[in-house]
């Protein structure tokens, strides 16, 4: 089965964040601290911080090692902010397998916050963890606007393994919205 992709523009990303933030303000008005899961939750967390007007802290949990392959979830950068007694909004870009969010929620609760609410931009229906807030449910691989080089690299390598030509790969990447400039950048600096 071939991978289906969901390209997300910056404009769409900001609008989905605004909608989630409005819902949080309407239903969880006591949230007073964001904890973003790096790397994917950083951009979403930053925008939520702006829309909600509350401070942000971060943790890093690494999980994905390749497209469609998920490694063990490890906290590689701990929380450095005191969140005891706070109403925490834990954010990440997507609830995919759900393992990262389960791990992060358990970890955050160990700091004794008053409450933990979870928000993601996207939710996969097979996730073992359902966030309290999410903008969209999808089975597709999401192409976030903040990681074009990473995705061009991964898609190119995957298609090369399938025996696709440079021309076929470039044509496909164009259908996903990637520009020739970005594709050339990847070819010049990351392929020999």
Which residues have C-beta within 8 Å of that of residue 12, sequence separation ≥ 6? none
Residue 133 lies in a domain: yes
Residue 42 sits in the same domain as residue 93: yes
Please report the pLDDT score of residue 2 as a whole number. Answer: 80
pLDDT in tens, 108-135: 999 999 999 999 999 999 999 999 999 9
pLDDT over 60 at 166, yes or no: yes
Question: Do residue 106 and residue 156 come from a single domain?
Answer: no
Q: Would you state the pLDDT for residue 130? A: 97
Q: Single out the residue of 101, 82, 81, 84 nearest to residue 41, CA to CA.
A: 101
39-72 per-position pLDDT tens digit: 899 999 999 999 999 999 999 998 655 545 556 7
- Does 1 reside within a domain? no
- What is the helix (H) or strand (E) element at residue 94, kind and residue range? strand 87-95
**Rounded Cα distance, 156 and 188, in Å:** 13
180 shares its domain with 129: no
DSSP one-letter string for 37-48: EETTHHHHHHHH
117/51 same-domain check: yes
Question: For 28-165, where are the alpha helices, taking DSSP H only?
Answer: 41-52, 99-109, 148-161
| Residue 183 belongs to domain spanning | 148-190
Output the pLDDT for position 71: 63
Domain count, the chain: 2
The verdict on 154 and 116 lying in the same domain is no
Token couple for 167: 């021309």
Query: What local confidence, expressed as pLDDT, does residue 192 receive?
Result: 66
**pLDDT tens column, 3-38:** 899 999 999 999 999 999 999 999 988 999 999 999
- What is the structure's pLDDT at 69? 54
CA distances from 128 to 91, 102, 123, 131, 142 (A): 16, 8, 10, 10, 18
Q: SS3 of 29, please? A: coil
Whether 2 is covered by a domain: the verdict is no
Q: Is residue 143 part of a domain?
A: no
Instruction: Return the pLDDT at 191.
Output: 84
């Amino acid at each position: 089965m071939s991978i289906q992709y969901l390209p997300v523009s910056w404009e769409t990303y900001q609008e989905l964040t605004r909608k989630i933030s409005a819902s949080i303000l309407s239903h969880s008005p006591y949230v007073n601290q964001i904890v973003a899961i790096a790397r994917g939750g950083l951009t979403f967390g930053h925008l939520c911080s702006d829309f909600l007007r509350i401070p942000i802290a971060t943790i890093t949990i690494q999980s994905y090692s390749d497209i469609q392959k998920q490694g063990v979830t490890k906290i590689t950068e701990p929380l450095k902010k005191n969140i005891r007694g706070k109403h925490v909004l834990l954010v990440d870009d997507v609830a995919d397998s759900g393992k990262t969010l389960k791990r992060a929620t358990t970890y955050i609760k160990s700091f004794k916050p008053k409450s933990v609410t979870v928000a993601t931009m996207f939710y996969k229906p097979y996730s073992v963890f359902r966030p309290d807030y999410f903008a969209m449910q999808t089975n597709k691989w999401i192409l976030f606007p903040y990681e074009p080089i990473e995705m061009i690299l991964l898609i190119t390598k995957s298609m090369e393994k399938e025996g696709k030509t440079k021309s076929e790969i470039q044509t496909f990447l164009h259908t996903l919205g990637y520009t020739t400039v970005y594709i050339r950048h990847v070819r010049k600096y990351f392929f020999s």
